[in-house]
């Protein structure tokens, strides 16, 4: 009867006096990736823990794959996988042993468990390291093992709580590819991340949690469309034109003398474009090329929450670009 993979309605949770979730409504379609964004302490982990049945909500309801998380936690647990800040990975066990343990916990039969473990080792590029203790693994390898452990029992929905925090760009991209493979196979993904680039790369749907409420919910394109922050980048033909352009446009511009470029805010309307070009023409500033840049998810996040995403996000976005 329930066609959403996740359905959350008027969900509330407080720790003592501190109300963290103040009435959350959210739905996620099966086989899609939702990225839940929010500043530190917004309540993302609290929401994941409620959906994973690790924490009871105070009010409202949440259904995961049709099952009520409070009334039927066992059914929910049988269908989901979770990886995150407190991974189940045991450093003293080898990669193969860690996977085998999870396969046994998921009640796969002996033969199926053995086959599935080998399949996951192969798929997650851990064959060579399979018999070494996980303690000897690099950060990227541990994260791949963690993800493989989440998936070994063939969950239909997975929660990834900051799955690539602390990883280098290459390992991050590998994790993204592995997540995409799962989505292609029909797994629903509920992702929390501080990296807006990650949401942009992976998510079909982005929800922003701030002040205990969902302040935006839509595709990345829809959210970018709503936010201010688009830019027009104009490259002038000479330093003289650059100076004229700066005088004509005024102070609200970024100018780069090395590349002879000025950047101005731009909302995408043709009338605004002709206005700027007319102004420069009258000022005798000759434009060689122009480029428009839509708002980034960073702009969206800033417009919605009043502060930037984590400083780390900036570095990652630059490294990945």
Ligand X SMILES: Nc1ncnc2c1ncn2[C@@H]1O[C@H](COP(=O)(O)OP(=O)(O)OP(=O)(O)O)[C@@H](O)[C@H]1O
Q: Give min distance, CB of 33 to ligand X, in A.
A: 18
Residue closer to ligand X, measured from CB, 43 or 140: 43
Judged by CB under 6 A, the number of residues near ligand X is: 11
Least distance from ligand X to the Cβ atom of residue 40, Å: 4
13 contacts ligand X (rule: CB under 6 A): no
Residue nearer to ligand X on the CB measure, 41 or 275: 41
**Pick from 33, 37, 38, 236: which binds ligand X (CB under 6 A)?**
38
Q: Give yes or no for a contact between 99 and 149, defined as CB atoms under 8 angstroms apart.
A: yes
Q: Which residues of 174-206 are buried (b: 16+ CB within 10 A; e: fewer)?
A: bbbebbeebbeeebbbbbbbbbbbbbbbbbebb
Rank residues 18 and 107 by Cβ distance to ligand X and give the closer one: 18
Q: Are 172 and 320 in contact (CB under 8 A)?
A: yes
Angle at 65 between CA 59 and CA 71, to 5 degrees: 40
44 near ligand X, judged by CB under 6 A: yes
Quote the least distance from Cβ 247 to ligand X, whole Å.
Answer: 45
Q: Give the distance, in angstroms, between the CA of residue 290 and the centroid of all CA atoms in the same chain.
A: 31
CB of 159 to ligand X, least distance (A): 12
Smallest gap from residue 137 Cβ to ligand X (A):
24
CA 210 to chain CA centroid, Å, is 15
Given candidates 34, 37, 45, 80, which one binds ligand X under the rule CB under 6 A?
Answer: 45
Name which position in 15, 115, 219, 293 contacts ligand X (CB under 6 A): 15
Residue 55 beta carbon to ligand X: minimum distance, rounded to whole angstroms: 8
User: From CA 30, how far away is CA 49, in angstroms rounded?
Assistant: 20
42 binds ligand X (CB under 6 A): yes
Query: Which of residues 7 and 162 has its CB atom nearest to ligand X in the complex?
Result: 162
Helical axes 139-151 vs 95-105, angle rounded to 10°: 20
Pick the stretch among 41-49, 103-111, 228-236, 250-258 that binds ligand X (CB under 6 A).
41-49
Residue 215 CB, shortest distance to ligand X, in Å, is 13
Name the residue nearer to ligand X (CB basis): 94 or 193: 193
20 near ligand X, judged by CB under 6 A: yes
CB of 14 to ligand X, least distance (A): 9
Order across the sheet with 59-64: list the strands. Answer: 18-28, 6-15, 59-64, 67-68
Residue 164 or 261: the one with the smaller Cβ distance to ligand X is: 164
Name the site residues for ligand X (rule: CB under 6 A): 15, 18, 20, 38, 40-46
């Amino acid at each position: 009867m329930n066609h959403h993979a996740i359905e959350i309605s008027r969900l509330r949770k407080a720790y003592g006096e501190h109300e963290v979730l103040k009435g959350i409504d959210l739905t996620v379609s099966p086989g899609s990736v939702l990225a839940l964004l929010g500043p530190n302490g917004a309540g993302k982990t609290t929401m994941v823990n409620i959906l994973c049945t690790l924490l009871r909500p105070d009010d409202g309801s949440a259904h995961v794959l049709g099952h009520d998380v409070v009334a039927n936690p066992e059914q929910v647990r049988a269908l989901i996988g979770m990886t995150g800040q407190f991974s189940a990975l045991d450093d003293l066990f080898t990669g193969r042993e860690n996977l085998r343990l999870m396969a046994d916990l998921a009640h796969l039969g002996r033969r199926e468990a053995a086959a599935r473990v080998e399949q996951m080792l192969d798929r997650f590029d851990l064959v060579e390291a399979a018999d070494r203790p996980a303690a000897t693994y690099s950060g990227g390898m541990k994260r791949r093992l963690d993800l493989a452990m989440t998936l070994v029992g063939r969950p239909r929905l997975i929660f990834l709580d900051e799955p690539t925090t602390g990883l280098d760009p290459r390992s991050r991209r590998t994790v993204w590819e592995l997540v995409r493979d799962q989505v292609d196979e029909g797994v629903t993904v509920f992702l929390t991340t501080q990296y807006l680039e990650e949401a942009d790369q992976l998510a079909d749907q982005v929800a922003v949690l701030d002040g205990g409420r969902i302040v935006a919910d839509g595709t990345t394109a829809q959210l970018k469309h709503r936010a201010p922050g688009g830019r027009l980048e104009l490259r002038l033909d000479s330093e003289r034109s650059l100076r004229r352009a700066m005088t004509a446009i005024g102070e609200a511009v970024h100018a780069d003398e090395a590349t002879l470029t000025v950047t101005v805010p731009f909302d995408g309307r043709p009338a605004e474009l002709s206005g700027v070009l007319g102004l420069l023409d009258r000022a005798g500033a000759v434009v060689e090329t122009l480029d428009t840049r839509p708002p980034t998810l960073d702009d969206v996040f800033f417009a919605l929450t009043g502060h930037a995403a984590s400083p780390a996000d900036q570095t990652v976005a630059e490294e990945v670009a």
